[in-house]
A = this chain, B = another copy of it.
Amino acid sequence: MNYKAPLDDIHFILHELAGLDAICALPESAGLGVDLVHAILDENARFVQDVVAPLNRIGDIRPPVWQDGRVTASPGFVDAFRQFAAGGWQGLQHPEQWGGQGLPKLVGAPAIENLNAASLAFSLCPLLTDGVIEALLQVGSEDLQQRFVPGLIDGSYTGTMNLTEPQAGSDLALVATRAVPQQDDTYRLYGQKIFITYGEHDLAENIVHLVLARTPDAPAGIKGISLFVVPKYIEQDGRQVRNDVWCASLEHKLGIHGSPTAVLLYGSGKGEVGEGAVGYRVGELNRGLEYMFIMMNAARYAVGLQGIALAERATQQALAYAHERIQSRAVEGSDGPVAIIHHPDVARLLQTMRALTQAARATAYVAAAMHDQAHRNPDSSQRDASRALYEYLVPVVKGFSTEMAVEVASLGIQVHGGMGYMEETGAAQHLRDARILPIYEGTTAIQANDLLGRKTLRDGGKVVQKIVADMQATAAELARLCESESDKTLAGSLALMQARFAEAITAYADSARILLTKAGGDIRGVFAGSVPHLMQAGVVFGGWQMVRSALVCLRRRTAGEAGMFEQDKLDVALFYAGHILPRARDYASQIEAGLTIPVALRQS
């Protein structure tokens, strides 16, 4: 099954919802015209469709192979990575002074989404490398930057994040890897890291590991963790020698088979450097976790894009099958069997998939625009407001888009019926691939704690209030358009949209308020509502974008400028309002229940 970049929807969102023109007009975006953005995205679409998409199934059925510590990537991955690097795709969002293109996140986001839709397993490598580049540029010394950043951007090197250890997953306070300072200002690292994505492979000449570890006298807990760069090869006396970091094995995972997930051993004494992996400290001692969050935040947003990407690909595949597969007569009567897309429940499943995907995409791109405003707007108050909204949205984009991806991929199997369960069809792979997304880079619960704790309770709900006010303005606009609609069926649909949007806003605002109110008391009850509240925020924020989309389409319709795209977008937006937005109230009920009924397992 081929993948086709959904450029129509991407451009609609970029222009109509996320304000691409405003981003292009910022002083720092000098020279970035809309035409150039289109050209970049066209070229991106061609590249991912032709070069990367064919790897998706190959990676699944022929995963990387480990032998004696070396890992050979899936067939075709080396060549595709070379083309990826040569095309300059790794540098898209990185500074021009380091060899990148310095494009705004709003342009990077669709490019990264499409890359991931083409092959999630392939795209994980650049995703991690992006994080390493960002961390080094923000907190690395000039020396470290010069040694590693150009190679990371030109594809000579790739990057990894080494957080997890067997006993330390979500709880990084338990990290035990040791970093022993040496007289030459380097460190020697000893320990075991697990779940290291692209921890070992043959795509590039070197691998730059960013590693969390403890120095001997460091305080216990998260305040004693420092960050180190440990390259696979280091330069010694003018030649590249093998450092003491080794891939002990690869994991056998449910999905993303094409992506090697490594167990890495530091300091087992087998390298050419003596015992201990040579590492360089990044930034100050004991601030490692803080630095790692620089990578984590970028990576979390990117994992959200992965969810959207996977949902898009699963949706395209299910749509194609539903058009082809002829089965059963129409419920309203037909001469013979019809394509299953015609059956009401199949249409419902497909519209659910499309609505969730498009809404999550809109949310993610709006968030990207906020990131760009936060970094590029000359007005500091606008920067601050944008930053606050972006930071609020990162856990929403990560949590909601990834949970949504699992749902959509599962529905995609259902549309295929029995064929969906057969691996050759490819629909099942999407579910297997998607299932990691709500887990890695922080589970949905971790995202929800971030959203509720750091992004909602800490500012007393200010960002939420701003969002609610803006949504209400959109609701008022919708109400005005509803009144003047003369098409009776459409008027009925719009009235339902209006009612559901109003209810959803109320549910979201009420839930945030009640969680804020109770936070001083029943803290367990409050945090039992954290994931429902995150999902609620995702549903409502996405619904807001769908209402905004509908308004654009209605206006174009009035102006006689609406074609097939506008008609379809309006259908999807109405569907979202009718079928997805009611979840906001369901989540509100769950939040209320969490605060009423003690959440604890007395027995099990």
- Among the stretches A16-24, A342-350, A466-474, the one at the interface with B is A342-350
Report A101 CB to chain B, min CB distance, Å: 34
Report A8 CB to chain B, min CB distance, Å: 10
Q: Which of A331-355 contact B (CB under 8 A)?
A: 331-332, 337, 341-348, 350-351
Q: Does A215 contact B (CB under 8 A)?
A: no
Q: Does A213 contact B (CB under 8 A)?
A: no
Q: Which of B444, B500, B596, B604 contacts A319 (CB 8 A)?
A: B604
A443 touches B417 (CB 8 A): yes
CA of A438 to CA of B414 in the docked complex: distance in angstroms?
A: 8
Collect the chain B residues with CB atoms within 8 Å of residue A251's CB. Answer: 422
Q: Does A42 contact B (CB under 8 A)?
A: no
Report A498 CB to chain B, min CB distance, Å: 12
B414 touches A443 (CB 8 A): yes
Q: Which of B347, B574, B582, B600 contacts A528 (CB 8 A)?
A: B347
Scoring A438, A445, A493, A583 by chain B CB atoms within 10 A of each residue's CB, the highest score goes to: A445
Collect the chain B residues with CB atoms within 8 Å of residue A597's CB. Answer: 493, 496, 571, 574-575, 578
Q: Does A536 contact B (CB under 8 A)?
A: no
* Chain A window 507-538, contacts with chain B (Cβ cutoff 8 Å), 1 for yes, 0 for no: 00000000000000001110110110000000
Report A496 CB to chain B, min CB distance, Å: 5
* Chain A window 544-586, contacts with chain B (Cβ cutoff 8 Å), 1 for yes, 0 for no: 0000000000000000000011011001001101110011011
B435 touches A350 (CB 8 A): no
Q: Which of A417-449 contact B (CB under 8 A)?
A: 417-424, 428, 431-432, 435-436, 438-440, 443-445, 448
CA of A414 to CA of B431 in the docked complex: distance in angstroms?
A: 14
Q: Which of B331, B431, B496, B602 contacts A527 (CB 8 A)?
A: B331
CA of A581 to CA of B592 in the docked complex: distance in angstroms?
A: 13
Q: How large is the interface on A (under 10, 10 to 19, 20 to 34, 35 or more residues)?
A: 35 or more
Collect the chain B residues with CB atoms within 8 Å of residue A604's CB. Answer: 319, 323, 341, 350, 568
Q: Does A138 contact B (CB under 8 A)?
A: no
CA of A347 to CA of B531 in the docked complex: distance in angstroms?
A: 12
Q: Does A7 contact B (CB under 8 A)?
A: no
A348 touches B531 (CB 8 A): yes
Q: Does A413 contact B (CB under 8 A)?
A: yes
Report A153 CB to chain B, min CB distance, Å: 29
A418 touches B445 (CB 8 A): no
Report A497 CB to chain B, min CB distance, Å: 8
Collect the chain B residues with CB atoms within 8 Å of residue A328's CB. Answer: 170-171, 173
Q: How many copies of this chain does the complex contain?
A: 2
B528 touches A345 (CB 8 A): yes
Q: Does A589 contact B (CB under 8 A)?
A: yes
Q: Does A86 contact B (CB under 8 A)?
A: no
Q: Does A157 contact B (CB under 8 A)?
A: no
Collect the chain B residues with CB atoms within 8 Å of residue A169's CB. Answer: 327, 417-419
Determine the residue in chain B with the shortest Cβ distance to A174: B337
Report A272 CB to chain B, min CB distance, Å: 32
Report A414 CB to chain B, min CB distance, Å: 6
Q: Which of B253, B445, B528, B568 contacts A421 (CB 8 A)?
A: B253
Collect the chain B residues with CB atoms within 8 Å of residue A496's CB. Answer: 592-593, 596-597
Report A29 CB to chain B, min CB distance, Å: 33
* Chain A window 24-52, contacts with chain B (Cβ cutoff 8 Å), 1 for yes, 0 for no: 00000000000000000000000000000
Determine the residue in chain B with the shortest Cβ distance to A320: B604
A423 touches B253 (CB 8 A): yes
CA of A579 to CA of B594 in the docked complex: distance in angstroms?
A: 8
B345 touches A531 (CB 8 A): yes
Collect the chain B residues with CB atoms within 8 Å of residue A599's CB. Answer: 344, 347-348, 351, 575
A418 touches B440 (CB 8 A): yes
CA of A548 to CA of B585 in the docked complex: distance in angstroms?
A: 26
* CB-CB under 8 A for A601 and B438, given A421-B254, A445-B343: no
Collect the chain B residues with CB atoms within 8 Å of residue A417's CB. Answer: 169-170, 439, 443
Collect the chain B residues with CB atoms within 8 Å of residue A444's CB. Answer: 414
* Chain A window 486-514, contacts with chain B (Cβ cutoff 8 Å), 1 for yes, 0 for no: 00010011001000100000000000000
Q: Does A164 contact B (CB under 8 A)?
A: yes
Report A322 CB to chain B, min CB distance, Å: 8
Determine the residue in chain B with the shortest Cβ distance to A348: B528
Report A534 CB to chain B, min CB distance, Å: 10
* Chain A window 369-389, contacts with chain B (Cβ cutoff 8 Å), 1 for yes, 0 for no: 000000000000000000000
Collect the chain B residues with CB atoms within 8 Å of residue A574's CB. Answer: 597
CA of A590 to CA of B585 in the docked complex: distance in angstroms?
A: 13
Determine the residue in chain B with the shortest Cβ distance to A604: B319
B418 touches A164 (CB 8 A): yes
A596 touches B351 (CB 8 A): no
Q: Which of B332, B435, B443 contacts A431 (CB 8 A)?
A: B435
Collect the chain B residues with CB atoms within 8 Å of residue A462's CB. Answer: none
Q: Which of B171, B410, B527 contacts A406 (CB 8 A)?
A: B410
A254 touches B428 (CB 8 A): yes
Q: Does A182 contact B (CB under 8 A)?
A: no
A527 touches B435 (CB 8 A): no
B331 touches A524 (CB 8 A): yes
5 closest A-B pairs by CB: A578-B593, A582-B589, A254-B428, A345-B445, A568-B603
Q: A420-B439, A568-B602, A575-B599 are in contact. List 18 more A-B contacts (CB 8 A).
A: A169-B417, A173-B328, A173-B337, A194-B418, A252-B422, A331-B524, A331-B527, A342-B600, A346-B445, A348-B531, A350-B601, A414-B439, A431-B431, A431-B435, A500-B589, A578-B592, A582-B585, A583-B586
